[in-house]
Amino acid sequence: MNVKATFTLEERHRIDGAIASLKHNAATDLSLVVTPVSDRYAFYPLIWAGLVALIVMAVIALLRPELHDRFTVVIELSILLVLTLLFDWLPVRLALVPRRIKHALARQLAHREFAAHGAGQNQNPRRILLFVSLGECYVEAIADHATHAIVPGEVWDKMIAELASAISDGHLAEGAVAAIESCEAALARGTREPNMDRI
């Protein structure tokens, strides 16, 4: 489990217990990764601050053309500095980034984490990564091909939707435990019930 101060000690024990149960009963390794944000998004505050500063100065130049150039440059630099600092506050910074970009970067980080966890756990080919990026409100479950094939796609989708809903309600630990238990139940069902459509 890769978490920092997100969970209390009691919550970590519950999550660790659910992971251990999944490993024992379904012979599958599960890693839970919770990250505050998936990227720094460092350029967005500067880009937006620069754009706003240019627009403000264009309006000032139209309304007050008599202002001295040196004075307008000072105003523009002041606006740029203040807005860059304001826009660098994490909630504002995240709001400035388009959702598709946030989700694309979160997805990239999730797949890098899955590859990194797999490199260190070669002894068990069956593995699942539950990835949560809190700042982007992004949740993904990634499994190896064999494990993914055991569980129908709608079960994965439902589990992710329920985990995302729990997180938005402020119940990350409960949602994580429920998602791990759902993985265990789905894998148990999938291995017991033969599916003739599977290849």
Given this model, what pLDDT does residue 60 score? 85
Q: Which pLDDT score, from 0 to 100, does residue 115 have?
A: 92
Decide which of 53, 81, 96 is a domain's last residue. 96
What is the residue type of 159? Answer: M
Q: What is the pLDDT of residues 108-159, one digit of tens each?
A: 999 999 999 876 555 667 899 999 999 999 999 999 998 988 888 899 999 9
Q: Are residues 88 and 63 in the same domain?
A: yes
Q: Is the dihedral of CA 36, 38, 43, 44 positive or negative?
A: negative
HEC states along the chain?
CECCCCCCHHHHHHHHHHHHHHHHHHCCEEEEEEECCCCCCCHHHHHHHHHHHHHHHHHHHHHCCCCCHHHHHHHHHHHHHHHHHHHCCHHHHHHHCCHHHHHHHHHHHHHHHHHHHHHCCCCCCCEEEEEEECCCCEEEEEECHHHHHHCCHHHHHHHHHHHHHHHHCCCHHHHHHHHHHHHHHHHHHHHHCCCCCCC
Q: How many domains does the chain have?
A: 2
Whether residue 19 is found in the same domain as residue 105:
yes
Burial of 12 (0-12, 13-18, 19+ CB in 10 A): middle
Are both 73 and 116 inside the same structural domain? no
Where is the domain boundary, 53, 78, 96?
Answer: 96
Q: Is residue 161 scored above 50 in pLDDT? A: yes
Q: Looking at the structure, do residues 28 and 106 belong to the same domain, yes or no?
A: yes
Taking 60 as the threshold, does the pLDDT of residue 5 lie above it? no
In a domain, residue 4? The reply is no
3 belongs to a structural domain: no
Over residues 39-82, the pLDDT tens digits come to: 999 999 999 999 999 999 889 888 888 877 788 888 889 999 99
pLDDT band at 86 (very low <50, low <70, confident <90, very high): very high
Place of tokens 């350029």: 43
> Which band of pLDDT confidence, cut at 50, 70 and 90, is reported for residue 24?
very high
Establish if 71 belongs to a structural domain: yes
Within a domain: 147: yes
Supply the pLDDT for residue 16.
96
Do 161 and 133 share a structural domain? yes
Domain assignment of residue 1, yes or no: no
63, 96, 129: which is the final residue of a domain? 96
% of the chain with per-residue pLDDT over 70:
90
Q: Is residue 199 part of a domain?
A: no
Cβ-Cβ contacts under 8 Å for 81 (sequence gap 6 or more): none
- Its domain, for residue 112, covers 9-39+99-192
Within a domain: 89: yes
In a domain, 53, yes or no: yes
